[in-house]
Amino acid sequence: MIKLMKSRVKSKIMWTLAAASLTCGGLAQADEWPTDNIRLVVPYSAGGTTDLLTRKVADLLQKELTTVVVENRPGAGSTVATGQLARGGRGSDHMLLMASPGHTIGASIYPNLRYDPVEDFTFVRNVINIPNVMVVPVVSPYNTVAEFIEGAREKELSFSSSGIGSSIHMSGELFKSMTKTNMVHVPFRGSGEALPALLSGDVDVSFENMPTVYPHIKSGKLKALAVTTAEASEFLPGVPTIREAGKGYGLEDFETSAWFGLIAHKSFPEEGIDKLQAALDKVMASEEFKNFLPQFGAEAGRVSGDEFRQFIESELQKWSAVAEDANLKR
C-alpha cells in the first residue's frame, strides 16, 4: 500500500511539473516580441519620398512580423518626431522611426537639441539609398563638372534646394566648400517650387534627389553632370560621380546621398532588434522590394547594427563641419 501511494505521489508530482512547464512555455511564447502592433513613424508629411518608402516597408514588414501602423509626425526638419522617440516611454519597445539625412543634418545645424542623435538610439538597418544628381538647365553653358567649377570661380553662380538643411542644400554647401567656389544658395519651399526655377535657368545648378530630376534628364530638359554617390548609378549610365568628374578640384572624397533607415529607442529589446533585422533581410531580398527601388533610382542599403551606427557618426562629423563652414549652426 505504501509503495502504491509513493508511486501515485510521484506520478502526481511529474504531472504537476509537466503542466507547469507547458504553462510557462505558453507564457514565454505569448511574451515573445512583438507583443503589440509595430508603430513606424515618418518624421515628414504624407506623400513625400520618405512617406512612400516607409509605407512600402511597413506593408512588406508586416507580412513577416505583425501589423505595422504608419504615423506621420512632421516638424522642424524631422527633429520633432526624433525627439519624441528619444524620450522613450510607453510603447517605445514597439516604435521605430524612418530616419534620413535630416537625422544627422538637423543635429549638425541645431547642436543644442534635447537629445543625442547617436547615444539615445538603437540603429536597426539602412534600408535604401537614393543618389542626388548635380544637374544644370539645358541652356547652361556647362557640360562637365570641371567646366562648372571653372565658371563658379570666375563669377557668382547660384544653386537651388528644397529648403535649408535638406540633403540637396547640404550637398551644394559641401560642393561649394570643397571646391572653394563662389555660389549663392537659393532655398525654396520644397522641390516642387525649386524645380521650375532650375528648368527655366533662373538658378544655375542643383544637387537634387534622383526621383525629382530623373524624368527631366531623360527628356533632355536638364543635363546631368554627375551623381553625388561614391559609385555611379545604373539608372544614369555614362554619368560619372562627382569624385571622378571633379578630379584635381578637391572632390576626391565627395559623397552624399538621401539615405533612409530604421532606428529605435536605445531601450528597444534586443530580441526585437534581432527579429527586425531578420525580417528586413527577407523584405529586402523579396522581388517586390527589388521592383520597388527603380521608381526612386535607388539602391538597397548595405549596413545594419554597429555599421549603421558608425555611418551615422561619420555623417554627423561631415555635416557638422559643413554647417560650421557655411555658418548654418543655430
Tens-place pLDDT, residues 81-104: 999 999 998 899 999 999 999 999
- As a whole number, the mean pLDDT across the chain is 90
Mean pLDDT of 180-198: 92
**Residue-range domains of the chain with CATH:** 38-129+258-325 (3.40.190.150), 131-245 (3.40.190.10)
**Residue 48 has which C-alpha cell?**
513625400
* Structure confidence by residue, pLDDT tens digits, 6-30: 455 445 544 444 444 444 444 444 4
Q: Model pTM? A: 0.86
Give the span between the Cα atoms of 305 and 36, in whole angstroms.
23
- Whether the pLDDT of residue 210 is over 80: the answer is yes
**In sequence order, what DSSP letters do the residues of 188-226 get, joined into one string?**
-SSHHHHHHHHHHTSSSEEEEEHHHHHHHHHTTSEEEEE
Give the span between the Cα atoms of 260 and 309, in whole angstroms.
13
Least confident of 20-29, 140-149, 310-319: 20-29
Give the span between the Cα atoms of 107 and 126, in whole angstroms.
19
Cis peptide before 74 (omega within 30 of 0): no
